[in-house]
Structure 1
Amino acid sequence: MSAFSRQLRRYYGWYTGTFLFFVVMLAIGEQLGLSQHLIGHVFLFVTIAIYASIGVMSRTTDVSEYYVAGRRVPAVFNGMATAADWMSAASYIGLAGTLYFSGFEGLAFVTGWTGGFVLVALLLAPYLRKFGQYTIPDFLGARYQGNVARLVGLGATVLASFVYLVAQIYGVGLVTSRFVSVEFEIGLFIGLAGILVCSFLGGMRAVTWTQVAQYVILIIAYLVPVVILSYKLTGVPVPQIMYGTVLSQVTEREAELLVDPGEVEARKQYRYRSQDYASKIADLPGSLDAERRSLIERLNIMRLENASAREIAATERSLRDLPRTPEEARVQWNKAQAESLERSRAPPRHADAHPGRTPQERTASRNNFLALVFVLMVGTAALPHILMRYYTTPGVVEARRSVFWSLFFIFLLYVTAPAYAVFAKWEVYNNLIGSSLSILPDWVASWGKVGLVHIEDINGDGILQLAELRMNTDVIMLATPEIAGLPYVVTGLVAAGGLAAALSTADGLLLTISNALSHDLYYKVINPAASTHRRLVISKSQLLVVAVVAAWVASLRPDNILFMVGLAFSIGAASFFPALVLGIFWKRANRPGAVAGMLIGLGVTLYYVVRTHPFFGGSMANAWFEINPISAGVFGVPLGFAVIVIVSLLTPPPPKEIQDLVDYVRYPQLPNPDTSEGRA
């Protein structure tokens, strides 16, 4: 072990011990009367201050340090940084929620994301480290002879990373708005300040050491509540082993809720509402005019009869929110009709594999499971912000070891996520469902204020039925400590972990986008004679612009975090995986083939998302083989491989120096070929 590694272990050992002491002190403070409001503020602002301090101390103007942390990050610490970079708000916040609602089907995320690192270790990481340089478009530019492939790779890098970045900044806004009691949009920019301090001053050097610190916080924050819940429910503080016992209890409760009279009536009412929306859609535009006249008449009668101000305000709001045109009504009512239809059905049983009422539905469920696993595996092996991390190790051997440590540190969270989902479902099904609507716990109102929990007494019995409770996927992880009645310090700890997960990935993504624009576009294409100082200035200015634009898009509150991240994986998989793998393992792959393959693979993927996702005006009625839009890359990846192979065989092979480059990257003992790109 080098002196540098020993020093790092000592520093981060003290840091971990100090953080645990800080949590214990806050817990003692809560028992002595410290307010929840203050605990939330202290957790979030102290952790952001820690990250900012590391960013300031790691500032640099050296190009190698800024882009690849000086290529001296030990494997263990690069594994921790990669795990933090990888375990985004989707993994930390969204995965437990997806497993909560999807049960067995949600294991596609765990399987796909974990399996993807096997592909990284076998197919990409060591070879890209042998190549050297700074970015993925760097490799594409050298392997496929010039700037055309580089610019296509640059565009795909920016697109995939930006979609992913918006999801992270949305997660930051979610956490800060709930736990610091500020508006969602203000919360976005509070978190954004923490992101910028880390990445702006020190680039990859600052981001690396900050991500190690963030991993420590996020893994402690993830494990503490679920260990407490495991001990509370089973008497054994090992959730990864004991959650099966609780799952059997959840299965019994699911069977009870299936035949509960209140549940049956609530679902019947939602089915009637769905049919009503279907009738109104069929009768457009007349139904819209009739709806408007009905609300106006009701409002006039209320005013004549001196109805309560609350009733009048509710009717006025309904009139104001009514669609203005038949086209708007069709879109809005289609969405409402689909939601009502979904709530009229019993949710899938948690332990059922590939659920469905008919053989066709079960087949579609299985196909979507396999498609999602494929896309997440391949996307993991192709996302630029992850592959960039392996440029930072001292050598190829360290890059391989780094993948192992990445997988180990990620495994600690992923093996725990199923337990989190089961414990949360037990708490909701046993302690919330069936409660009187007049005495609901405080967390329902708290999360309702930020739009993540909705309750509607559709059958009018004053009792909360499962069908009447709608929770956003992203709320399960963050609210579970409150749902289970744990001390508020645990809730604050979970929020700090969620913030660490979102910030760590946002740092890496911002750096990936700004480095691609400054290095691959400005330095390699526009101004190859640019000085080191100018390159860094361009990188930092691009970083600021991208951060502000991403925050603005996140403020529009797009789809849930997990879908956005899944879309980024589909884009990355279709754009990069075929070109990278064939570029390393097949000498015959050439520039026309790679460019055509990347463009067509990406184009088909984006076309399918637009065609099938409601956000873009699409519909699953347009789906191919009933594949969900999150798995759109399942069509783009094989098509990309096929196009690269066919076009490469129909066009001249690459020159000898490019084929020598392939040999150099793949075989350890071969000398570095003299190419125009150079190697680091």
Structure 2
Amino acid sequence: MSQFVINLIFVGASFALYIGIAIWAKAGTTKDFYVAGGGVHPVTNGMATAADWMSAASFISMAGLIAAGGYANSTFLMGWTGGYVLLAMLLAPYLRKFGKFTVPEFIGDRFYSRNARFVAVACLIVASVTYVIGQMTGAGVAFSRFLEVDNLTGLLIAAVVVFMYAVMGGMKGITYTQVAQYSVLIIAYTIPAVFISLELTGNPIPPLGLFSEHSESGVPLLAKLDQVVQDLGFSAYTADVPNKLNMVLFTLSLMIGTAGLPHVIIRFFTVPKVADARWSAGWALVFIALLYLTAPAVASMARLNLITTIYPEGPQAEAIEYSERPNWIRTWQETGLIQYEDKNNDGRIQLYNDDNQEFQSTAESRGWNGNELVVNRDILVLANPEIAQLPPWVIGLIAAGGLAAALSTAAGLLLAISSAVSHDLIKGAINPNITEKGELLAARISMAVAIIIATYLGANPPGFAAQVVALAFGIAGASIFPALMMGIFSKRINNKGAIAGMLTGLIVTLVYIFMYKGWFFVGGTANFPDTAEYWLLGVSPLSFGAIGAVINFIVAFGVSNATEEPPEEIQELVESVRFPRGAGSASDH
């Protein structure tokens, strides 16, 4: 049986499962569509939340980021998991106590302003649309490799599958589909990791294998990896981070961005009680940890496997001949995600850091004229089974897992967008008297339109697509998170302060990121090069979400203290939300 047929079986079976669940869990009311009826068990919700969170960025890209940057990119692990601690401690139970359907609805009621609700909708849509681009693009990459179709066809297939189970089932269908998707993606991620850890260290538990001895050399795995990357002019894999300020700010941006992303927050409206919201966040952390503890091991072992594939006898010896390159390189070259150029015409593959000036003399003494192999870091997890020569069924399994990760988060984001349009815009402003049947129809139409837009943007990503995750987190962290925090913990913040804070945080963050990512042009070039010497006070654009959040807080408090206090009933609302001893069910009242 060919690898294509095996991939088709695994992916087809998983898709049939998702669509079958959607048919079984079809939403019949707006409460089903928005919050899955409000009766999801905390363990089930924790697993669905984990799938909602562990997107293509977590499954496909995170290990690649760590493999490329080593310890420096551990900020992704710290920021994304730390965000769930913030959610569990500071947001989830209080928002659940409020008992409404959407984040903009909370902001609109708490700040007694339709305009505040509209601003929250704008922030939500910008963050969610930005984030969903990456999910659809990730699905296209996975399809193009494993189902041997072009990227556009892959995107269209993904869009059809999401349409069938998300539009039909709403939050109810998405919740139980995400439980299945979590099961698929965690099995797909860990099984190859176990095989590779056994092969390289003899330890079947990847997080422990990371700190075990390398079987072939007898030295610790990380010491072996440090040695081989430094022999090729790269920085030590375990090297410290020189810019501690950006490391702290970037970690903080990811944390508050996580806590502010609406597709994650709305999951806590689906449980029956306030206590269940806390337990859901706890269970989500447990389920997320299974992948996040494995990711550093996958990254390290993939990087070592890649280098030893090119230099079987070590970086000091000759590289393999291009004509004898392994099949996995040939396969991924067809997707364009691996590129080779024989710069010194010796017929071999030279892989090294040609940006390292100190290493240049060593490279020249070996007859190297530049790095010849460019490997897209996003392929490392997907290619890992092939690099390690694992059985074909493992490759089929990871194909299904990668698609599950992309589609689960895409569905959650699309639901957040749909809810904002149908519940907060149409019912909240345009037609408050719309019937439940009409609102449910509007929600499904909104979801369908959002899928079409997401598919188009996935096929034609904007110029900032490479930084899409950082941008989405920056927007959510700088605009939505501060408004939620102040809405819950401060009676003094009024509608004027909240609106001014959200708008300022959003605009300042967008301007700063786009300024360095090429959206402001002078003579065909970006205003400012994206290098540390041009950054404001040395703050990277990827880290600016934390600064935007601080500006949001300052503006909101300043404007609120200069204007009238919120009405007495709003202060009583804050008091009731802050002490969540009971909980009503989520409702649309």
Q: TM-score when scaled to structure 2?
A: 0.90
**Percent of matched pairs sharing the same residue:** 42
Question: In the TM superposition, what are the counterparts of 1:596-615 in structure 2 within 5 Å?
Answer: 596-614=500-518
Question: In the TM superposition, what are the counterparts of 1:225-374 in structure 2 within 5 Å?
Answer: 225-244=192-211, 245-246=213-214, 248-249=220-221, 251-252=223-224, 254-255=226-227, 258=230, 346-354=233-241, 362=242, 364=243, 366-374=244-252
Deviation per residue, 1:521-557 (Å, 9 max, x gap): 0000110000111111111111111111111111125
Q: CA deviation at 1:123?
A: 0.8
Contact 1:94 1:561 in 2 (8 A): no
Question: In the TM superposition, what are the counterparts of 1:501-650 in structure 2 within 5 Å?
Answer: 501-557=405-461, 563-614=467-518, 617=526, 619-621=529-531, 622-650=534-562
CA RMSD after TM alignment: 1.9
Aligned match for 2:399, one of 491, 495, 501: 495
Give the residue type in structure 2 aligned to 1:541.
I
Deviation per residue, 1:348-398 (Å, 9 max, x gap): 2211111xxxxxxx2x3x222212110011111111000000000001011
In structure 2, the partner of 1:463 is 348
In structure 2, the partner of 1:100 is 67
- SS for the counterpart of 1:632 is helix
Give the residue type in structure 1 aligned to 2:237.
H
Matches of 2:197 and 2:583 in 1, distance apart?
Answer: 55
Give the residue type in structure 1 aligned to 2:310.
L
Task: Determine whether 1:656 maps to 2:568.
Answer: yes
Give the residue type in structure 1 aligned to 2:110.
R
Task: Determine whether 1:62 maps to 2:29.
Answer: yes
Deviation per residue, 1:207-242 (Å, 9 max, x gap): 000001100111101100000111111222011111
Matches of 2:249 and 2:34 in 1, distance apart?
Answer: 35
- SS for the counterpart of 1:73 is coil
Deviation per residue, 1:85-112 (Å, 9 max, x gap): 0000000000100010000011100011
Q: CA deviation at 1:582?
A: 0.9
Q: CA deviation at 1:63?
A: 1.4
- SS for the counterpart of 1:657 is helix
Q: CA deviation at 1:251?
A: 4.0
Give the residue type in structure 2 aligned to 1:169.
M
Give the residue type in structure 1 aligned to 2:565.
P
Matches of 1:679 and 1:654 in 2, distance apart?
Answer: 23
- SS for the counterpart of 2:339 is strand
Task: Determine whether 1:85 maps to 2:60.
Answer: no
Contact 1:171 1:561 in 2 (8 A): no
- SS for the counterpart of 1:145 is coil
Count of aligned pairs: 549
Matches of 1:258 and 1:106 in 2, distance apart?
Answer: 18
Deviation per residue, 1:174-211 (Å, 9 max, x gap): 11111111110000010111111111011100000000
Matches of 2:340 and 2:451 in 1, distance apart?
Answer: 35
Matches of 2:383 and 2:21 in 1, distance apart?
Answer: 29
Aligned match for 1:445, one of 327, 330, 344: 330
Q: 1:81 to 1:249 in 2, by over 3 A?
A: closer
Contact 1:90 1:561 in 2 (8 A): no
Structure 2: state its 5+ residue gaps: 312-318, 353-371, 521-525
In structure 2, the partner of 1:665 is 577
Deviation per residue, 1:610-663 (Å, 9 max, x gap): 111247635225422333322220220100011111111001010001001001
Q: CA deviation at 1:671?
A: 10
- SS for the counterpart of 1:454 is strand
- SS for the counterpart of 2:260 is coil
Task: Pick the structure with more helix per residue.
Answer: 1
Task: Determine whether 1:182 maps to 2:149.
Answer: yes
Structure 1: state its 5+ residue gaps: 1-33, 264-345, 355-361
Q: Rg: which structure is higher? A: 1
Matches of 1:541 and 1:137 in 2, distance apart?
Answer: 20
Q: 1:444 to 1:557 in 2, by over 3 A?
A: farther
Matches of 2:441 and 2:435 in 1, distance apart?
Answer: 10
In structure 1, the partner of 2:91 is 124
- SS for the counterpart of 1:620 is coil
Give the residue type in structure 1 aligned to 2:157.
I
In structure 1, the partner of 2:376 is 472
Task: Determine whether 1:408 maps to 2:320.
Answer: no
- SS for the counterpart of 1:470 is strand
Matches of 1:678 and 1:645 in 2, distance apart?
Answer: 30
Matches of 1:192 and 1:419 in 2, distance apart?
Answer: 32
Q: CA deviation at 1:558?
A: 5.3
Aligned match for 1:484, one of 356, 374, 388: 388
Give the residue type in structure 1 aligned to 2:535.
A
Contact 1:567 1:631 in 2 (8 A): no
In structure 2, the partner of 1:418 is 296
Deviation per residue, 1:582-617 (Å, 9 max, x gap): 110010000010000000001111001111124763
Question: In the TM superposition, what are the counterparts of 1:217-228 in structure 2 within 5 Å?
Answer: 217-228=184-195
Matches of 2:505 and 2:430 in 1, distance apart?
Answer: 27
- SS for the counterpart of 1:45 is helix
Task: Determine whether 1:40 maps to 2:7.
Answer: yes
